[in-house]
Amino acid sequence: MKKIPVIIDCDPGHDDALMLMLAFGSGLFDVKAVTTSAGNQTQDKTLANTLKILSLIGANVPVYRGCEKPIFRNLVIDDSVHGESGLHGIEWVVPAFQPETISAVEGIARILSESEGKITIVPTGPLTNIAAFLLAFPNLKDRIERISLMGGGIFRGNMTPLAEFNIYADPEAAAIVFAAGIPVTMCGLDVTHKAVVFQKDIDLFRAIGNKSGEAAANFLEFYSRFYRENRIELEGGAALHDPCAIAWLINPDMFKTKSCYVAVETKGELTSGATVVDFYNVLKKAPNTEVAYDINREEYIKMLADAIRSLP
Ligand code: BDR
Ligand code: CA
């Protein structure tokens, strides 16, 4: 079976780390590169975490350092969820390789211009790198097959009542991406708060018995603390956001989605960083986004466990 060519743009981050495990462990992707966004932590830390997690799971692909901060705004980090290092539990791993010497924007441009076919981009952090790429290389936009991202929400936020972290951190970048005319799949909080991992799932990952399973379980035990204290609606579960953007590419039938027109609020006094999803098509605009709002949780956990099982 032909693998799906992808560039992954992420800010590990515990759920980003699980996303990378799913992407590599599934064996279904031709990962051309991983680029790093500043988000859950600073660029220095998300880059270091990316090199470490890829080394841990035995994935040696080109890694490119991304932008240091959002396009117009100061950096916002999410250390309340992901800790001081951005990926609590990875500190002991020594990276087996170094990042590339050119930037993420240049790396994406080089890969897209040299590739025979189109490539899907999977962002699971703030969209700064992707927007900077689109601004710098508009001629290469047509080389992108689709953008499958984690971010936003139809009816809810987690940084403000309406804004989700990845969009809130760099709304101008997100606005550029959604308006680019590229097909987007949006896995926002509506679906990711149904993509929940419970203690029994963490135990299942640990019981796989390999070092990736142990790392996944350790990451999720730390990550779950925030959710158990702050999202009691999830009944002890933690929203495992980022792997959804990869899972949709593996099996879209596992999700419920709706084609909608989506734009990003960059100025609102109360709503900056909100994804404005025209769920009922009141604007009568052509949809630009496949918006995911539900998932088969049991299948999602099985997909993750199968991927982890095939890793070192
Ligand atoms: C998003 O923010 C980060 O905390 C996670 O890694 C995820 O990408 C969820 O709002
Ligand atoms: Ca992330």
Q: How does pLDDT run across 72-85, given as a tens digit for each residue?
A: 999 999 888 888 99
Determine whether the shortest distance from the Cβ of 275 to ligand 1 is under 6 A: no
**pLDDT category of residue 274 using cuts at 50, 70 and 90:** very high
Compute φ and ψ for 149, nearest 5 degrees.
-120, 155
Six-digit token string for 224: 């779950």
Nearest to 8 by CA among 66, 57, 56, 55: 66
How many residues in the chain? 312
What is residue 80's predicted lDDT score, i.e. its pLDDT? Answer: 84
286 in helix, strand or coil? coil
Residue-by-residue DSSP string for 95-140: PSS---SS-HHHHHHHHHHH-SS-EEEEE-S-SHHHHHHHHH-GGG
What is residue 82's predicted lDDT score, i.e. its pLDDT? Answer: 84
Q: Is the dihedral of CA 113, 19, 35, 227 positive or negative?
A: positive
Q: Is the dihedral of CA 26, 167, 73, 84 positive or negative?
A: negative
43 in helix, strand or coil? helix
Six-digit token string for 173: 């970048």
**Number of separate helices (H) and strands (E) present in the chain:** 12, 12
What is residue 144's predicted lDDT score, i.e. its pLDDT? Answer: 98
What is residue 312's predicted lDDT score, i.e. its pLDDT? Answer: 98
Ligand nearest to the CA of 273: 1
Looking at the domain that runs over 4-309, which CATH code has it been given? 3.90.245.10
Calculate how far, in angstroms, residue 241's C-alpha sits from the geometric centre of ligand 2: 8
How confident is the prediction for the chain on average, in pLDDT? 97
Mean pLDDT of 120-148: 98
Asked if omega into 188 is within 30° of 0 (cis), the reply is no
Residues assigned a catalytic role: 241
Atom of ligand 1 nearest to the CA of 81: 4
Residue with tokens 């952090």, as numbered in its chain: 125
What is residue 102's predicted lDDT score, i.e. its pLDDT? Answer: 98
Atom of ligand 1 nearest to the CA of 239: 9
**pLDDT category of residue 303 using cuts at 50, 70 and 90:** very high
Mean pLDDT of 289-311: 98
Mean pLDDT of 204-227: 97
What is residue 83's predicted lDDT score, i.e. its pLDDT? Answer: 85
What is residue 129's predicted lDDT score, i.e. its pLDDT? Answer: 98
**pLDDT category of residue 193 using cuts at 50, 70 and 90:** very high
Ligand nearest to the CA of 159: 1
Atom of ligand 1 nearest to the CA of 82: 4
Tell me whether strands 238-239 and 196-197 are parallel, antiparallel or unpaired. antiparallel
Asked if pLDDT for residue 111 goes beyond 90, the answer is yes
- CB neighbours of residue 114 within 10 Å: 9
Asked if pLDDT for residue 20 goes beyond 90, the answer is yes
Determine whether the shortest distance from the Cβ of 164 to ligand 1 is under 6 A: yes
Asked if pLDDT for residue 95 goes beyond 90, the answer is yes
Percent of all residues in the chain with a pLDDT value above 90, rounded to a whole number: 96
Q: Which of 22, 40, 45, 220 to mutate to test the pocket of ligand 1 (most atoms within 8 A of CB)?
A: 40
What is residue 262's predicted lDDT score, i.e. its pLDDT? Answer: 98
Could you read off the pLDDT of 33-46 as tens digits, one per residue?
999 999 999 999 99
Asked if pLDDT for residue 1 goes beyond 90, the answer is no
